[in-house]
Amino acid sequence: MKSYPGFAKRLGLWALAGGAPAWGLASYFIWQQTWLIYPKILLWLLCSGAWLGAAWALARRAEFQLQTLGNVVEGIASGDYSQRLRSASANEQLGEQINALVDTLHRQRLRAEEAHCLVDAVLQGIDVAIFAFDEQASLRLANPAALALLLRDKDGVLGRSAAELGLAALLTADTAVLSEHVFAGAAGLWRLRRLPYSVDGREQTLLFVTDLKQVLRSEELQAWRRLLRVLSHEVNNSLVPISSLSATLHSNLARVGTADLDEGLAIIHERAKHLAEFVRRYARLARLPEPQKQLFDLAALLRRLPTMLPEAGLSLTIAGDCLAPMPSNFKLPFFGDPVQIEQLLINLLKNGVEAGGAALELRCQVQPLQLSVLDCGPGIANPANLFVPFYTTKPEGAGIGLVLSRQIAEAHQGSLSLEPRRDGPGRGCAAILRFSAIGQGGR
């Protein structure tokens, strides 16, 4: 509790000065009376005591009121609204006004805390990653979606600069277009939005990072799956009896010796089998299983590929300060489904071979993890239709290899893109796989 001795002393001195003329006048009249000396002394002492006591009581009362008011103000400043002034009399409105002010501030504080809890609940539950940076581009706030992208906890990222977190490029990127970025916890295309705000007059920046790819791809995939289920069901219902009847009639007519009918039914039977196989391959798009993830050595899997596809003429290289052949003892831990990852790489290698691009190169960049399948073929003919199911430019192609490959990559928190090759002689294509982090894909 604070005290105010200086003000109380001055108030007491002013009270003494104000009462001094009355005390002097009373003393004069007392000593002018014809009373005995003892009554005069007693009355004079009473007048003096009343004068001094009134001044002292006024000073103490003022000091107590100031102490109480100071405590209330300190409580407001520290967020404690339990302090109140004593009930004021009818002619003293200051105490009532201060108590009303404390009640108003308390209600405003409660509303602010409720609003803060609501905002915090929204930040915790929203799927959009939200980062808040101060004027020095240091991170001050990150919601759970943002921490999941960084694969870090709050204590490990708050206070760090955008450059240390790998987010500096996003603070200057063009928000009018989708931005491709590889986070520790995810990779792909992102919609960015930046909003300025102020704290204590200093400009800060809110960065919103939205993964539109996953939502759109999921809806697209569900639509294709529903379509494929319907097509498979209807076509198979017709193919099964056609194939069975044609085989039966073919065997019966073979004994009769009608060559033309025999040849026609043979063609019907062959085309029915071909169509059934065609439908079966497309139906794989609707039945891709969930990856069975485990920690395995991705480098060992890569070293098996040249033996599995000798026609690819595959060479394995490591991209660092310079390109170098992959060492035989090189290890690359990765968390994922080894069967699906192997199928993904085989699809990309076959795609390069069928495009006439052998010999192929598989280039591995460790941090961030990126696998590039480079061919020397004619390049990309129609980039707009690369990942459209059923679309193919190859005579014997099914049009599902790249679609399946992209599904597998995204199931491992990665992305797949096909780009014109920018290094090497002549034309060619680069199939680029980007993953969020080594040993963390899908965790």
* Res 180: pLDDT: 77
Please indicate, yes or no, whether residues 420 and 332 belong to a single structural domain of this protein: yes
Q: Which of 269, 286, 303 is the last residue of a domain?
A: 286
* Res 402: pLDDT: 80
Structure tokens at 252: 């019966």
> What DSSP designation does 313 have?
-
Please indicate, yes or no, whether residues 312 and 415 belong to a single structural domain of this protein: yes
**Residue 408 belongs to some domain of the structure:** yes
Distance (Å) of CA 261 to CA 87, 243, 248: 113, 15, 13
| Burial of 302 (C-beta count, 10 Å sphere; 0-12/13-18/19+) | buried
Q: Which of 59, 83, 107 is the last residue of a domain?
A: 83
Read off the pLDDT of residues 10-63 as tens digits, 9 standing for 90 and up: 777 887 888 888 888 888 888 888 778 888 888 888 888 888 888 888 888 777
- Number of structural domains found in the chain: 4
**CATH number for the domain that contains residue 342:** 3.30.565.10
Please indicate, yes or no, whether residues 132 and 229 belong to a single structural domain of this protein: no
* Res 89: pLDDT: 46
Please indicate, yes or no, whether residues 281 and 299 belong to a single structural domain of this protein: no
Please indicate, yes or no, whether residues 255 and 299 belong to a single structural domain of this protein: no
Please give the helix or strand (H or E) that residue 382 lies within, else none: none
* Res 443: pLDDT: 44
Q: What is the pLDDT along the chain (443 residues), one digit of tens a residue?
A: 455 567 677 777 887 888 888 888 888 888 888 778 888 888 888 888 888 888 888 888 777 777 777 777 777 777 777 777 765 443 467 777 777 888 888 888 888 788 778 777 877 878 888 999 998 889 988 898 888 888 888 888 899 998 888 888 888 888 888 787 778 777 777 889 999 888 777 888 899 998 876 655 666 666 666 666 656 655 666 666 666 666 666 666 666 656 556 666 666 666 667 666 666 665 655 566 788 899 999 999 999 999 888 888 899 999 877 888 999 899 999 999 998 999 899 989 988 888 877 789 999 998 888 999 998 888 776 665 566 655 555 555 556 778 788 888 888 888 888 888 877 655 788 899 988 755 444 44
Question: In this structure, which amino acid lies at residue 29?
Answer: F
Residues of the domain holding 270: 221-286
Residue identified by tokens 């409105």 is 93
Please indicate, yes or no, whether residues 298 and 405 belong to a single structural domain of this protein: yes
In 10 A of CB 412, how many CB atoms?
Answer: 22
Q: What is the pTM of this model?
A: 0.49
**Residue 99 belongs to some domain of the structure:** no
Rounded to an integer, what is the distance from CA 331 to the centroid of its chain?
A: 31
Please indicate, yes or no, whether residues 416 and 298 belong to a single structural domain of this protein: yes
* Res 91: pLDDT: 43
Please indicate, yes or no, whether residues 53 and 137 belong to a single structural domain of this protein: no
**Residue 200 belongs to some domain of the structure:** yes
**CATH number for the domain that contains residue 194:** 3.30.450.20
**Residue 241 belongs to some domain of the structure:** yes
Q: Is 56 helix (H, G, I), strand (E, B) or coil?
A: helix
**Residue 106 belongs to some domain of the structure:** no
* Res 302: pLDDT: 93
Q: Which of 286, 302, 336 is the last residue of a domain?
A: 286
Left if phi > 0, otherwise alpha if psi is -120 to 50, otherwise beta: which for 200? left
Please indicate, yes or no, whether residues 421 and 298 belong to a single structural domain of this protein: yes
* Res 90: pLDDT: 39
Please give the helix or strand (H or E) that residue 86 lies within, else none: none
List of residues 6+ apart from 409 with CB closer than 8 A = 344, 415, 416, 433, 435
Read off the pLDDT of residues 236-276 as tens digits, 9 standing for 90 and up: 666 666 666 666 666 666 666 565 566 666 666 666 676 66
Please indicate, yes or no, whether residues 270 and 204 belong to a single structural domain of this protein: no
